[in-house]
A and B are shown apart, each in its own frame.
Chain A
Amino acid sequence: MEAKAQARTPKLSFLVRPARGSDIPHIIALDKRVTGLAKPDYWHDVLRRFSEQRPHERFFLVAEPHGPKIQPPILGFITGEVRAWEFGSAPCGWVSTLSVEPRARLRGIGQALFDAISMEFKNTGVDKMRTMVARDNRLHLMFFRSEGMMAGPYIQLEKELE
């Protein structure tokens, strides 16, 4: 059983590094494949803000396959930053997005991105990281849980503005 599973999921070699301007079109394309929405302005703005303002506390990381001309050129990305004192919370790292190419899932890319940003957060001196996941987003909930995240002390509330 295990040998067949390995044959179905060929080894994938990749590296995790900070995002660059040339990555943005591929990030937009990946985000559109996953969410159905193209957000070019949003991603250009994220890269600009993360590069120019508090770059030592903001992290935009991508997973890039080893080897030239491997498609897609970006296998996944993660964004996060240290936020302090909002909602009464001491400084902690917040993961705001995580996306992995659907065809490249179950190969450790998500975990590698998560581990990389966890290390970045730890290096800033914080000892906690958080994220927020839609209740019906089972995939992300299961992933973050498998990485050791548990429900925190906050409840997200909302109301319609009529």
Chain B
Amino acid sequence: MKLQISSRLAIFALLELAARPDRQLSVAEVGKKYGVSGHHLAKVMNVLSRAGLVRSVRGAGGGYQFSGNARRTTLFDVVQLFENLNSGNAPFAAGDRTDAGRALREVIGEIDHIAQATLGSITIATMLKLVDRRQTAGRRSAK
């Protein structure tokens, strides 16, 4: 499964901000770490701001702060701001109205349900734990 670039950037930005909720980070700071343009990231931050997940901080050194609930916001909540994960809602394509087409949609639907359940069960807080485990493992292997 592949997420669109906007969804990925949104998740990265939220992880950076939620990891340090008392600090504000600029688009440039986040963009530099993940190798993306500030222009694209700014669009993503606007969407996250409208969803109430971040708030912009004005003034010198301004940026964004996390304003959501890390223990309740899931990856699915974030991704669905940028893309539709439910192929069942997609318009019928050629062949879809045949028996073979319907059987195929059922199989694809099974994949969609698993993807939605997976993304819907991982919160920002849980993702931060996963990141932390990788950082710890990385430090151990570097010794």
Query: Measuring CB to CB, which residues of chain A are less than 8 angstroms from any residue of chain B?
Result: 135-136, 138, 141-142, 145-146, 148, 151
Contact = CB atoms under 8 A, between A and B. Distances in A.
A151 B126 CA distance: 14
Nearest to A140: B121
Contacts, number: 26
Closest 6 CB pairs of A and B: A141-B121, A135-B117, A146-B126, A145-B126, A145-B121, A142-B121
Contacts of A141: 117, 120-121
Interface of B: 71, 74, 113-114, 117-118, 120-123, 125-126, 129, 133
B122 A145 contact: yes
A142 B114 CA distance: 14
A39 to B, nearest CB: 26
Contact of B123 (A136, A146, A148): A146
Q: Is the interface of B mostly helix, strand, loop or mixed?
A: helix
Contacts of A146: 71, 123, 125-126, 129
A31 B133 CA distance: 34
Contacts of B113: 135
A79 B114 CA distance: 26
Nearest to B125: A146
A147 B49 CA distance: 29
B74 to A, nearest CB: 7
Nearest to A141: B121
Contacts of B125: 146
A148 B125 CA distance: 11
Question: Which one of A136, A138, A145, A151 has the greatest number of beta carbons of chain B within 10 Å?
Answer: A145
Contact of B129 (A136, A138, A148): A148
A107 B113 CA distance: 31
Given A135-B113, A148-B129, A142 B118 contact: no
Contacts of A136: 117
23 contacts: A135-B113, A135-B114, A135-B117, A136-B117, A138-B120, A141-B117, A141-B120, A141-B121, A142-B74, A142-B121, A142-B122, A142-B123, A142-B126, A145-B122, A145-B123, A145-B126, A146-B71, A146-B123, A146-B126, A146-B129, A148-B129, A148-B133, A151-B118
Nearest to A136: B117
